[in-house]
Amino acid sequence: MLIDTYDRVATDLRVSLTDKCNLRCTYCMPEEGLQWLGKSELLSDDEIVRLIRIAVTSLGITEVRFTGGEPLLRPGLVSIVEQCAALTPRPRMSLTTNGIGLKRTAAALKAAGLDRVNVSLDTLRPDVFKTLTRRDRHKDVLEGLEAAREAGLTPVKVNSVLMPGLNDDEAPELLAWAVANDYELRFIEQMPLDAQHGWKRDGMITAGDILASLRTRFTLTPEDDEARGSAPAERWTVDGGPHRVGVIASVTRPFCRACDRTRLTADGQIRTCLFAREETDLRSALRSDAPDAEIARLWKVAMWGKKAGSGLDDPSFLQPDRPMSAIGG
C-alpha cells in the first residue's frame, strides 16, 4: 500500500511514456529549444511494464493513466497496454492524449485493453488552435475524438484550458459541442507547469470565471462530494442531465486532501505531486538488478514523504524545474 503521513492512499498511477510532443502548446512548451531525454535515459517498454506490475500486484494501484508528452508517440504503446491488461488484478487503464494519432490507433488500443481516453482540445476554432498549439492539426484532433468514441474508448473526456485573449470566450460553445457529440468536457485551470516559467496567477481564467460563463447558457447542478470522491474535477449536471461538465481548479480550489495519485516519469522517477520539486529514482534500482521488493520499498518511502499540499498558495512557491511535458500531466 502507498500511504502517506496524512493517511492518503495512492491507488491511481500516472505513467509518462515520453517527454516528446507533436504540438507546442503555449501554456506547456516553448516553440523551440527544449532538450529531449536521451534514449538511454528513458525507461524501456519492459521496465515500464515491470514497474506497473509491481505497483498493481504489490502496492495497491487500481488505475493506470498513460500520459506524456504525447503518449501516442511511444512506439510500444499498444504492447504496453496489452501486457498491463493481462495483470492480475487487472487495472483500469486510460490515456491522456492530444488526439492527433487516435484516428490511426484507437481501435488497436481498445483491442489491447485500454478502457478510455482523455483528449486535450482547447478551442473549436482552427485559427485559435494554430495559435495555441503552433501547429495546424485541429482537424486531426476532431477525427481522433470521433475514432475514440467509435472504438468504444468511453466515456471520451475532453480537457480544455482557457487562456486570456485567445479562447476565454469559448466555454459555452465548447460545452454545447461536447453535449452534442456525447463527450464529457472538463475545464482545467492553467497551472504553473510551463517550460518557460511564464505563468502568472493574475489574469488567469479561474474556475469561478468558467462557471459564470457557462451559466449564461446552461443550468448547472453540482454533484455532491460523495459522488466526486478523490476525482480532481468538480462536476455539474448540465440542464438536468444526463450530460456533465467538470472543472479542475488546481490553483483556486485545490483538492490535495483527497489526492490518491502517484506519478512515474518517462525516465523512471517517482513524483508524489505534479508540483513537487523532489523525485525518487527507480530507474537506477531497476538497472542495478534490485528485486521487486526493494523497488516497492523505495516507492513506499517516497510516498510516505508526500507533502500535505501543492504549496500553490504559499508566497514562496517555486515551479518545478521540469515542465509538464517531462513529468506527465
User: Is 259 flagged in the annotation as binding?
Assistant: yes
201 pLDDT band (50/70/90 cuts)?
low
Residue 273 marked as a ligand binder: yes
pTM of the entire predicted model: 0.93
**The three grid cell numbers given for residue 9, joined into one nine-digit string:** 492512499
Residue 253 assigned as binding residue: no
Q: Are strands 9-10 and 2-3 parallel, antiparallel or unpaired?
A: antiparallel
Q: Where are the domains of the chain?
A: 2-326
Mode of pairing for the β-strands spanning 12-16 and 63-67: parallel
DSSP string, 20-31: --S---TTT--S
Q: What is the arithmetic mean of pLDDT over 63-72?
A: 96
* Residue 235 counted as an annotated binding residue: no
120 among annotated binding-site residues: yes
* Residue type (1 letter), 293: A
* 231-271 pLDDT, tens digit each: 788 999 999 999 999 999 888 888 889 999 999 999 999 99
Q: How many angstroms separate the CA atoms of 64 and 262, rounded?
A: 10
157 is in an annotated binding site: yes
The C-alpha cell at 212 is 459564470
Q: Give the residue-averaged pLDDT of 193-218.
A: 81
Please tell me whether 221 is known to bind a ligand.
no
Neighbours of 257 (CB within 10 A): 10
Pairwise pLDDT comparison (30 vs 236), residue with the higher score: 236
Specify the 3-state DSSP secondary structure of 2: strand
C-alpha cell recorded at residue 128: 485559435
Which amino acid type is present at position 190?
Answer: Q
What single string gives the DSSP state of each residue in 288-306? Answer: TT--HHHHHHHHHHHHHT-
CA distance 64 to 49: 11
84 is in an annotated binding site: no
Q: pLDDT tens-digit profile of 276-325?
A: 889 999 999 999 999 999 999 999 999 999 999 877 766 667 776 776 66
How many residues are present in the chain? 329
User: Known binder of ligand: residue 57?
Assistant: no
261 is in an annotated binding site: yes
- Residues 6+ positions from 27 with CB-CB distance below 8 Å: 132, 161, 163, 190, 194, 199
Domain 2-326 architecture = Alpha-Beta Barrel (3.20)
Is 272 a known ligand-binding residue? no
Stretch (H or E) spanning 5: none
Identify the pLDDT of residue 233. 86
Average pLDDT over residues 13-36: 85
